[in-house]
Each structure stands twice: as structure tokens, then as C-alpha cells.
Structure 1
Amino acid sequence: MAHVNENYGKLPGSYLFSEIARRTAAFAAKHPDADLIRMGIGDVTRPLAPAVIEAMHRAVDDLAAAETFRGYGPEQGYAFLREAIAQDDFAARGVSVDADEIFISDGAKSDCGNIGDIFSVDNVIAVCDPVYPVYVDANAMAGRAGDYDEASQRWENIVYMPTTAENGFCPALPEVPVDIIYLCSPNNPTGTVLTRDQLQAWVDYANECGAVIMFDAAYERFIVDADVPHSIYEVPGAETCAIEFRSFSKTAGFTGARCGYTVVPRALVRGGASLRDMWNRRQCTKFNGASYVIQRGAEAIYTPEGAHQVDEAIAYYRANARLIKEGLEAAGYTVYGAVNSPYIWCKTPEGMGSWEFFDRLLNEAAIITTPGAGFGPAGEGYVRLTAFGERADAERAMERIRALG
């Protein structure tokens, strides 16, 4: 008789965004004519850049002729994209990352979930709180989290590092030994960032104790402040302790096209083993590579015209974030994020819980947000809004929120 992975049975009843979808569907069924404004899930709305579309069309034509047809591609990604990334995302910032340390994938979410394959199940995991749910759930599925306590909304074997307004959204170094540390900057969900000095403290800590930092830089293109690194490898010593995840989803509109990459430096060794070589073996065994057409589209982001077009889309979302932040503050709310990020972290009215405020905004203003409690215990008392919608929707949403009083 086949036995199932019992860790799946320990997961809380519903994935955060599934519950949001359920409540939204229930509201829409009751109010079929409601003008819903979606500011919850961070899905983009700007179309792919023209340079990207043109590159994809050319790639499709390649597949239509025997002379240029491509079958299975390299599991690590095509050299044309890896080399463009090494040059534009790293060398241009004075950072040395070799093309063969870059692994192209179908998105950062997949890699964040799959990276655990190369680590032992008995590693102690540390996460910021609040946190992107995939970091926690993927480790729970693998058996590293132990049991879930409904009362505290915490996993018994995970070390939670509060990342709140009280500590300036910079988590303190763990007081107990940990092995794998998840950091995200710009942060999802809070929209806040870690400075160079703050990241240096984490890098020094990880190198001293032999931990590995999982650094999620999916939103780096939104950074405008000079003292905020776009890559953890801008911090001395990071190449011996950190794995970095990047995504084209939010930066270039690839949420539907699916493409991202992970950097595993050759210098990163634990237990006498090269983590780069282990990840390479994992990918060669379990992954056949991202689509040739999609990778050609991603390559176009690094052309002058492609980069300019992507920057225009980023500027559009930044303006939305600023509009939402200013609108919420004008309505009397305390707001964080939005400056270096597409996310706005809004404190709920006094005494109102995250899901309670979510329901109020949904039922009284037809606005969909994301309850902060879904990102961890320290997210209670907040909701997350995204700037990825249309400008007119952001303007109407702020009008409705002001009208709520």
C-alpha cells in the first residue's frame, strides 16, 4: 500500500490566496454587479514590453524552421540569457557572478520551493515574520517545520524573526542556532528594505555560524534608495553564504510567461559539498529547462530598448504605489513600504484584525486586499495592497476608502 507524505496533513486548512479567492467569489456571487477592485494578489497588469514580444515572435519562427529549430535546451538555461544576466544584473553593479553560477527557471517561486531538495531535513529554518508563505509551507511539506500550533499560528521547529515597525522592519539576529535563513528585500509583504549595513550583519553572522541565507530579490528593480543593495552579492562575503533568487514576473511582466533565475556561487560550500554542483544535479534530474521562446523574451529585457520599456512599466507601478500610500495616509492610516517596492503595508484601524478589515474593505468598498495575518503572526493588524493594478482603479480605490471614514 502506498504511503503519503504525512506533512501535507499538518498544513493549515487553506493557502492564503485560496482563502482570499473563496471569500471574493462568495461576495461576487451575492453582488454580481459589484465593481471589484483587485489589490490583493501581486499580479501585474502592464503588457509585456514590445521588445520582449518581438523577441518571442522571432523565437517562434526559429522553431518553425528545421535550420533553427531547438529541442531540449540546457537545464541550466541558454548561455545567451545567462551571460546577459551576469553582465547587466551583476557586473554592471561591480559584482562578479559567473554565467555558470546562474540557473534559469520558470520563476522564483518554483526555486524558493525546490531549493530545499539539496538540504537535509534536520536543518533549522529561520524566517522573517511576516513572511511570504512559500518559504514556510515548502519547508513544512518537506518535514522541517514539525507540527503547527493553531493557537500561536506558528510551526514548532521554525524560528520566527519579527520584522515589524517596532524594530524598523529589520529582524534581529537569531538567539538560537539556525541553519537556513530566509531574507527578502524589498520585502514581501511589508514593502520595506534592508540597507547595506543591515545585510552585512546577516552575511557576517551566516559566515560565522555556517548558515545559508536564501535571499529573495524578486523586487530589486523597484529600489530607488542608493544605500539599498539590489543583490546580496554587493555585500562582502555573501558569495560564501548566500543563494539569491530573481524573477522576471514583477520586474518585466512575466507572471504569465514564467521565467526567473537563481544564483548559487561556486564559493558556497557546506559539509564539504558544493551547493552549486548539488543544485545543478537537482536541476538536471528534475527540470528540463525553461522554454526557449520565453528565454529569448527574457534576453530582450537586457537590450537598450527592452530595458527602457521595462523601466517605463516599473515607473507606472511606482506611481501607483505612491498614489496609494498618499491616499491611505490622507485617510488617516499608518502606512509602510511603497517607496522601494510595489507593496503597501497598511495598519488596520485600532482594534480591528486583518481578516476583519479585509472583509470590511471587500463588503463595504468592493476592494480586495491581502490580510497581513496570512503572512504570519506578526502580520496581524495589517493588510497588504499592491500597486500592480490600473491607475484608474488605484484612484477609485482611494476614493472609496476615504468615503468609508
Structure 2
Amino acid sequence: MSVSQSFATSLSSSSSAFFVSSNFISSGYGVQNVPFPAKSIGVVKCVAAPQEQETVFKTKVPRNSNMAKLQAGYLFPEIARRRNAHLLKYPDAKVISLGIGDTTEPIPEVITSAMAQKSLGLSTREGYSGYGAEQGEKPLRAAIASTFYGNFGIEEDDIFISDGAKCDISRLQVVFGSNVTMAVQDPSYPAYVDSSVIMGQTGQFQKDVEKYATIEYMRCTAENGFFPDLSTVGRTDIIFFCSPNNPTGSAATREQLTQLVQFAKKNGSIIVYDSAYALYMSDDNPRSIFEIPGAKEVAIETSSYSKYAGFTGVRLGWTVVPKQLLFSDGFPVAKDFNRIVCTCFNGASNIAQAGALACLSPEGLKAMYEVIGFYKENTDIIVDTFNSLGFKVYGGKNAPYVWVHFPGQSSWDVFSEILERTHVVTTPGSGFGPGGEGFIRVSAFGHRENILEACRRFKQLYK
């Protein structure tokens, strides 16, 4: 028996078979009446290949149930995902990013040269240094204390140098633990809420009101000057407050911050005050919470070089925890924060700290203010553009963000329309909380030519 005869015989032994027809391929596939060989090949048996059951190994470690409470992705990675999808759809488009708020202009040379010198010094025996103090190098702590807090009774050992304000927000949450309640401006920077959720300080997300249970959302609107009506705010242990505010760009007045400090004292609360945009202030408003009498007893302040000196990639910030700030049992908050820092952190980069110290020299401060001034000019261009188009525009004067109102519209829908029709990335207001619905945030961080081009596209879209 030949090989072909053997093959045909084995096929014909099937009890489940189909017969080949010359008209088998239908016209639906564009081919008809394909001729098959005249010689019969017998009966064909369909034999299903054995399917191996894929087994996925799972550990016995339960997932942190608080992670499951988080809604979708963190705001800015989600924006980046949508931007990348847009680029796939329009590979030749010149996309301009005015969304995440990343700085774009070069770090001044007086600052980078100090970092370069420190870096080169590490290649010598005399200049090498390994682990530093977890709290930061003393000269930098002293310079920050004298430059930003010289008249407010803040001392260098109240200051903790870090790799950024965002990181310190999470470290503070670890200090506070899961058995505290918290309040947040609505809208506000999403890291406050998300870190609270992860720590287990909240209940489940309530889809009908777009809020997490047990968080006190302090509504900030144009009608109340973007400062909450504290008479309607319930007592919480922790109050997160940012001024100048991200995303609205509003800055609290001295009178308003005095009310906030008195409110915290009355309720025995701790304020976590984010002053990351303080140097953008144009109005005569406080740049630090510690300008307010009594604040050292109820407040922590966190700040950053990211938006001052272009350190978004270098990473350097600080947090002030006064000695006078005590827990309910009288234990100093600073001691617990110090313990968390020593446990979870090995100190900021010594190269970054060299750059940060150079920022506070007379030449460094001058250079920083020049960069800030450039971004503030960008802000003016964006504000003028949207004003000319008839939009209600907020912010811009005291912060590098413009808060534009699109009444009755979904923030994500506006974001999508702008991206689709202008190739400009913004930030949907609802990503900052339910109070941000109907707004978009436009960042002033960008090269001047990109700012001008983005504004030209806005005018073309909304003229």
C-alpha cells in the first residue's frame, strides 16, 4: 500500500466526516466554483487537537481591598494614554501638551553647574559622599528656613528635604494611618484623595455623587471665590489645602487663611498645606501658611522645586513639620514623620540637593524668578485667548493654570473635542473632583511657540 493510500484509508475510518464539494467556497468570499482534484481522497475526519488547560498560579496573599476602591487610572497617566492613542490615530499631527503641567524650559545654568560640579566631585575621593541624612543636608535646610520662613519662627530642623511634595503627601498619609478622617478642596490635586483611599481612610466610591464616602469635600466655586464656606464643612482630622490652588489657580487671602487656621484650632484638626506654586503669587496673599498666627500648632507645609526651577525630573521638595504640632496624646508629629522618613527613605539625591542650594543663592533666585516670569507670560496669553472667545476664565494670575468654564458640558467630552480637533492636550476638570465638572485646566508650561500655536488653534475651533 502506498503512503497516499494509507493516508486515505486512515481518513475513511472516521465515523464523523464531511464530503468535499466543488461549490464549497461561497460567493460571499469573492470566489466561486473552485475546482478540486478529480481523484477522490475519501472521507476526511475532523480531529480536535487536545486543548491543554492553562493553569494560572495564584498566591494566597489577598489584594489590598482599598486599591479596588480607586476609580479608573490615576488622572495624568490616563491623559497620557489618551494622548498616545491620539498619536496612533494621527501619526503626523503636531500634538501640543498643555495637560499634565510638566515644565519645558531649561534649568538655569547657575543651578545645573552646581549639580555638575557636585556630580564630578563624586568621582574623587575628596568629593565623594554616600548616604546623607534622611532629613536632608543641613546647609540646604538652613537656606530654605531663612529664604522662605525667616520671619515665621520656622527653624532648619523643622524642615525635611525630600524627592518631591507628591512623595511627602503619601509619607504623611502613612504617619496619619487609616483611622483618620480627611477633608479636601473640591476641586483639588487628585493625589490627596487617592492616597487617602489607598490608606483606607475612606468608604466606597459613590457613583451617583462622584465622591468617596467619609471624605469631606469642601466645595470651591466661582460663587464663593474658590474658598470653601467653612460654616458648612464638617469636622475632620486632616484638612488638605493648596494655595495657590491646583487646578483653579485661585489663591487664598490672609483673611481666608486666618479663618482656616481658626477652624482647624476649633476642631483640633491638622492642615496639610501645599504651597508648591507660592512663588507664582502676584497678589499680596500669604505664600506660606506659617504667615498666619497660630499655624505652627495646627499645620504642616509641603512644597517643591518642580515648578520653580524645572525640577520635575530632578526631584527635590521639602516638608515643614513644626515642633509645636502635637497629636492628641501630646506626642510631636515631627517625631513620627522623622521615623517614617528614616524607615522609608534614604534621603534626597545629593546632586539634586546641590542644585537646590544653588537655587537659593542670589543668582539662583534671580534665575528662578525669570523662568517663573516666562511661564506667567504664557498664562497671560492663554487667559487673553479664552477671554477673547467669550469664555468664563479663572486662575492664571497667581498660578500657572487657567481654569476655563464649559457650562453644561462633560469635562472629558470637552477634553476629547479639543484633542480631536486641535491636537492640544488639556486636563478635564472632573479629574480633580466633582466640583471640576464642566471645566478644563490649561497649563501654561510650554515653549512660547507652542503656546502661541495652541492659542491659534483654540481661536480657530471656537471662533
Q: State the TM-score bracket (shorter-chain normalisation).
A: over 0.9
Residue number among 410, 416, 426 corresponding to 1:369 in the alignment? 426
Q: Indicate if the aligned counterparts of 1:361 and 1:367 stay in contact, CA closer than 8 A.
A: yes
Shift in Å, 1:193: 0.6
Indicate the residue corresponding to 2:139 in structure 1.
80
**Aligned mates of 1:224, 1:165 — CA distance in 2:** 19
Whether 1:196 and 2:254 are equivalent positions in the alignment is yes
The one-letter code of the counterpart of 2:361 is T
Indicate the residue corresponding to 1:220 in structure 2.
278
Indicate the residue corresponding to 1:36 in structure 2.
95
Indicate the residue corresponding to 1:104 in structure 2.
161
The count of corresponding residues between Structure 1 and Structure 2 is 401
**Aligned mates of 1:119, 1:37 — CA distance in 2:** 39
Q: TM-score, normalised by structure 1?
A: 0.97
The one-letter code of the counterpart of 1:324 is I
Q: TM-score, normalised by structure 2?
A: 0.85
**Aligned mates of 2:242, 2:146 — CA distance in 1:** 23
**Aligned mates of 1:175, 1:224 — CA distance in 2:** 29
The one-letter code of the counterpart of 2:178 is V
Whether 1:23 and 2:82 are equivalent positions in the alignment is yes
Secondary structure of the residue that 1:273 maps to in structure 2? Answer: coil
Whether 1:13 and 2:80 are equivalent positions in the alignment is no
**Aligned mates of 2:233, 2:426 — CA distance in 1:** 34
Shift in Å, 1:61: 2.2
Indicate the residue corresponding to 1:261 in structure 2.
318
Indicate the residue corresponding to 1:240 in structure 2.
297
Shift in Å, 1:151: 2.2
- Structure 2 unmatched ranges of 5 or more: 1-59
- Structure 1 unmatched ranges of 5 or more: none
**Aligned mates of 2:367, 2:440 — CA distance in 1:** 31
Whether 1:307 and 2:357 are equivalent positions in the alignment is no
**Aligned mates of 2:261, 2:366 — CA distance in 1:** 33
Aligned-residue RMSD, C-alpha: 1.0
Q: Indicate if the aligned counterparts of 2:177 and 2:199 stay in contact, CA closer than 8 A.
A: no
Whether 1:52 and 2:96 are equivalent positions in the alignment is no
Note the alpha carbon deviations across 1:338-361, whole angstroms, 9 max, x for none.
00110000001x432111111110
Whether 1:157 and 2:214 are equivalent positions in the alignment is yes
**Aligned mates of 2:448, 2:390 — CA distance in 1:** 21
Indicate the residue corresponding to 2:28 in structure 1.
none
Q: Which has the larger radius of gyration?
A: 2
Amino-acid identity (%): 43
Indicate the residue corresponding to 1:148 in structure 2.
205
**Aligned mates of 1:51, 1:29 — CA distance in 2:** 40
The one-letter code of the counterpart of 2:238 is I
1:60-71 aligned within 5 A = 60-71=119-130
Q: Indicate if the aligned counterparts of 1:210 and 1:270 stay in contact, CA closer than 8 A.
A: no
Shift in Å, 1:117: 1.2
**Aligned mates of 1:18, 1:59 — CA distance in 2:** 33
Secondary structure of the residue that 1:74 maps to in structure 2? Answer: coil
Q: Indicate if the aligned counterparts of 2:171 and 2:341 stay in contact, CA closer than 8 A.
A: no
The one-letter code of the counterpart of 1:62 is G
**Aligned mates of 1:351, 1:198 — CA distance in 2:** 30
**Aligned mates of 1:47, 1:395 — CA distance in 2:** 19
1:159-178 aligned within 5 A = 159-173=216-230, 174-178=232-236
Secondary structure of the residue that 2:161 maps to in structure 1? Answer: strand
**Aligned mates of 1:118, 1:26 — CA distance in 2:** 39
**Aligned mates of 2:347, 2:359 — CA distance in 1:** 19
